[in-house]
Every structure is written in C-alpha cells, then in structure tokens.
C-alpha cells in the first residue's frame, strides 16, 4: 500500500511539474525563464513554432553563439531542452534585444523576433538585396560567398552524413535566421582576405549587418565578376522549393577551381536544426560548372 501511495505521489508531482512547465512554455517570458540563460549571454533572436521555442544568444566575453531549444507537446510529455554552442569572430552585440519585447510575442506561429521586431508569415522579414550587395563587391578579391536559406528554425550548424562523410549545413560561426516560408535567401555571408591567414566576414541579415575578423579556413581566393554573381543568383532561385528546409549555395576556393557548390535539405521535422547529424536521404548536393578560377595563395584585397 505504501509503495502504491508513493507511486501515486510521484505521478502527481510529475504531473504538477510538467503542467507547470507546459504552462510556462505558453508564453515567451515563461519559456525564456525555463531556458536558464546565463547573465553573460545577450538574447539576439527568438523563434517560436507550435509547441517549441528557440532562443539565440551571444556571449561577448567568450565570443560564443548559442541556441536553446525547448519543446513540450502535452502536460504528460517530458520537456525537451537542447543547446548548441559555437565560437564566432563576429560581433553580435549590436543585435542584443530588449527583454520587454518578449511580452509582445504574436499568437501566430511560426514567429521570429530579430533586430528588435517580431515577424510572422503574414509579415515576414525582408530578405537582404543579394544581387545588389554582390554587385557592390564586383571585381573584388573574395575568399567565400555563402547564400543561406532556412524555411524554419534558427540554425548554427548541422552535419549531413553522406556515404560516411559529413557535410556541413549552416556555418560554424554564423546564425542563420528563417525566412518564415518565403523562397528567398535570409542570410548572406561574404568573406574577403585581410592577411595571409585572416579574413573579414560580413553577414547580411534582414535590415542589419554583422561583421568580424579572424582566422580563415579558406586560404585561397577568387575575383568576383558578373558571371559568377549571375550563377549564384540563378542557382539560389532554381533550387529553392516549398519543401526546402535549408539550403546553402557557396562559392569558395579550397582546392583549385573549387567551383560553385550547393547543398539542400529536402525535408523538415520539428527540431531539425538542433540535430548533430542528418541522414543522407535528406540531402541534395551538387557542384555547378562555373568559370570560377582560384588565385594564388596569400592574395589580398
């Protein structure tokens, strides 16, 4: 009898706690408290969809990006909490949000809080003018260009396993914000050399730009021209569909004549951006035939 009473008590405690957390997740303020975000971290983005929240933070002392994921579909379900953390040379401090904005979270989902404003599918974020931005770098020396698209969720990086090899989705040091369904690039990364092993990165988001300097993985470079700009834009338009979960169209010189590469995630499931690895059948990947020619090592602007 005592054992039965103990089990009933444990169940009631479990139900009471889960009901409390489920109620907390019904509001942005409650979900933010449940995330347990450190005081050293500045909130820079929030994403909300049915039964889950994501909070992106930046720690200027540690120079780290972090994404928290919280989900609970029912009071009897266990609450799921996941985190991803990456180092970044980019300064995200200007994107720090006023926590009072959490009180203004819309009832509609999906919703995105970014650069001081809430967005929904009826009022999506305005994508950066990719063609115009790229043409501003025409005839300049570039190390990497990445056009990044996310339909849902906040992304840092995920790996797709293909025949035993891991291909990166997202990037190591860039937060990718979702377009909330519109078929347009939401984040543009341009990297250009500022020294033998160093680069400056410029990240173009809807209505805001983030910059930073640091060591580079791409030691070669190329000269951007109108033909390559057109190829980037054409590939991005051609491959994005209503079913695309994430896409990266990238031009870089790691090996001679590396070309124009794109990788696309064809499916979506809740929490996909928080996975460490995705199976190969989620992937489409191709190297386009372009006239890209890599410069000799150590080329500078």
Does residue 140 sit in the same domain as residue 284?
yes
Asked if residue 200 is part of any domain, the answer here is: yes
Query: What's the mean pLDDT in 106-111?
Result: 94
Count Cβ atoms within 10 A of the Cβ of residue 274 and give its class: 0-12 exposed, 13-18 middle, 19 or more buried. Answer: buried
- Prediction pTM value: 0.88
| End residue of a domain, out of 93, 120, 147 | 120
As a whole number, mean pLDDT of residues 66-83 equals 78
Looking from the CA of 245 toward its CB, the CA atoms found within 13 Å total 19
- Asked whether residue 84 is domain-assigned, the answer is yes
Let me know whether 139 and 283 are in one domain: yes
State the pLDDT confidence band at 6, using cuts at 50, 70 and 90: low
pLDDT value of position 88: 95
Considering the domain architecture, whether residues 136 and 90 belong to the same structural domain is answered as: no
Map tokens 């914000």 to a residue.
177
- Domains held by the chain: number: 2
7: pLDDT strictly greater than 90: no
Tens-digit pLDDT profile for residues 131-190: 999 999 999 999 999 999 999 999 998 888 777 777 788 888 999 999 997 778 889 999
Tokens describing residue 248? 């990266």
In this structure, what token pair is assigned to residue 60? Answer: 């200027």
Domain membership of residue 299 (yes or no) is: no
| 296 within a domain of the structure (yes/no) | no
Say yes or no: 111 and 203 in one domain.
no
Q: Identify the domain containing residue 10 by its residue range.
A: 2-120
**Which residue, of 120, 154, 177, is where some domain finishes?**
120
Q: Are residues 139 and 207 in the same domain?
A: yes
Confidence at residue 281, expressed as pLDDT on a 0 to 100 scale = 86
The predicted-structure confidence for 188-244, as pLDDT tens digits, reads as follows 999 999 988 899 999 999 989 999 998 888 888 999 989 889 888 888 877 787 788
């Amino acid at each position: 009898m005592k054992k039965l009473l103990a089990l009933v008590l444990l169940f009631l405690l479990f139900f009471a706690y889960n009901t409390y957390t489920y109620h907390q997740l019904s509001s942005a303020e409650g979900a933010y408290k449940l995330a347990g975000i450190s005081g050293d971290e500045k909130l820079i983005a929030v994403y909300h969809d049915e039964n889950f929240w994501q909070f992106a933070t930046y720690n200027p002392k540690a120079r780290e990006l972090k994404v928290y994921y919280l989900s609970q579909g029912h009071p009897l379900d266990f609450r799921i909490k996941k985190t991803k953390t990456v180092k970044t040379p980019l300064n995200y401090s200007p994107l720090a949000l006023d926590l009072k904005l959490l009180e203004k979270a819309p009832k509609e989902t999906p919703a995105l809080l970014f650069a001081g404003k809430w967005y929904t599918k009826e009022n999506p974020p305005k994508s950066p003018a990719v063609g115009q931005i790229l043409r501003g770098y025409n005839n300049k020396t570039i190390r990497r260009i990445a056009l990044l698209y996310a339909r849902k969720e906040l992304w840092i990086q995920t790996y797709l396993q293909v025949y035993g090899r891991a291909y990166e989705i997202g990037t190591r040091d860039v937060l990718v914000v979702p377009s909330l369904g519109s078929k347009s690039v939401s984040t543009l990364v341009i990297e250009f050399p500022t020294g033998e092993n160093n680069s400056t990165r410029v990240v173009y988001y809807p209505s805001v730009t983030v910059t930073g300097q640091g060591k580079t993985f791409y030691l070669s470079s190329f000269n951007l021209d109108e033909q390559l700009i057109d190829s980037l834009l054409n590939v991005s338009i051609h491959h994005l569909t209503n079913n695309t979960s994430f896409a990266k169209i990238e031009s870089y010189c790691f090996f001679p004549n590396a070309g124009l590469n794109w990788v696309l995630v064809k499916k979506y499931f809740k929490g996909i951006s928080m996975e460490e690895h995705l199976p190969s059948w989620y992937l489409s990947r191709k190297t386009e035939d372009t006239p890209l020619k890599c410069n000799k090592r150590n080329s500078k602007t």
